[in-house]
Amino acid sequence: MNTPLLEAGQLGVEIGGHQVCRNLNWRVDAGESWAILGRNGVGKSTLLATLAGIREQQCGRLSIAGLALPPVRPGEGLRAMARVRGYLSQHQFDPFASTVLETVLVGRHPHLGRWDWESADDRRIAEAALNELDLDGFAERDVQSLSGGERQRLAVAQLLTQDPQLFLLDEPLTHLDLSHQVAVMEMFVRRSAKSAAVVAVLHDPGFAARYCRQALLLFGNGEWLAGPAGEVITAPNLTRLYGHPLRELSADGHRWFVPR
């Protein structure tokens, strides 16, 4: 059996005395696309940061591509991890002025030696990512001049430039209009079809059901449910998850969920 890109065993995660998950046994393999769903404040972002190795779990085992977390050795160890795992934060910060191209090229740093400069090939990869996110022509723009939606697409482009095997996405559709929401989700579907794996915190269960083949539900009391999206993303499960009665609608082979 192939080594999973992400594996959790009896994982326990807490924040501020709140239990995010208890005894989470879960694996993510290449080619899979997972949605993480739950109400505000249940700890979706906390769990994702833990899975990325940014914060430490309270108990249990966690590994990325067979490498136990924590710790990750500094230097080459961190670069090696960044070549496997890419993490999209919920918030983007730009304290200093830089161009869009300079910002997206940061994604190439895990692939460079300590004293290397970006090559023409690195620039080509970065420009292709900008084009894919509808940011062609933005290369020389100051990143601080971008709208919220443009800055979010730049963050996604930077992640594509990093070219990891595992994408961990914290609300990747934040600030995006509907057409860009669809475009971004379809783009990650293509990445998972090419043997990458995607784990995304999402708010719309209809988007999750349409674009993700698997789902992890966090109920807010340490309980969780994981499995194929068709079995896990259901009106009864979502009614319990969100604390409000929902019903399922179907159109053109897609499922959507609306309040009763």
Checking if the pLDDT of 93 tops 90, the result is no
Question: In 3D, which of 213, 227, 230, 228 has the Cα closest to residue 32?
Answer: 213
Checking if the pLDDT of 83 tops 80, the result is yes
Residue 76 has what pLDDT? 64
Judge: domain 6-91+166-175+202-259, CATH 3.40.1390.30. Answer: no
Checking if the pLDDT of 1 tops 90, the result is no
pLDDT in tens, 102-122: 999 999 999 987 778 889 999
Residue 113 has what pLDDT? 77
Whether residue 108 contacts residue 162, with contact meaning beta carbons closer than 8 Å, is answered with yes
pTM above 0.85, yes or no: yes
**Burial class of residue 115 in the structure, from the number of CB atoms within 10 Å of its CB (0-12 exposed, 13-18 middle, 19+ buried):** exposed
Percent of the chain exceeding pLDDT 90 equals 83
Tell how far CA 139 is from the center of its chain: 24
Q: Which residue has the tokens 């090939």?
A: 121
Checking if the pLDDT of 73 tops 70, the result is no
Q: What are the Cα distances from residue 127, in Å, to 24, 73, 82, 170, 173?
A: 39, 31, 20, 24, 21
Structure tokens at 224: 């969780």
Structure tokens at 11: 């994982």
Boundaries of every domain in the chain: 6-91+166-175+202-259
Question: Pick the residue with more confidence: 92 or 226?
Answer: 226
Checking if the pLDDT of 244 tops 80, the result is yes
Q: What average pLDDT does the structure give for the chain? A: 94
Q: Which residue has the tokens 């082979």?
A: 253
pLDDT in tens, 182-220: 999 999 999 999 889 999 999 999 999 999 999 999 999
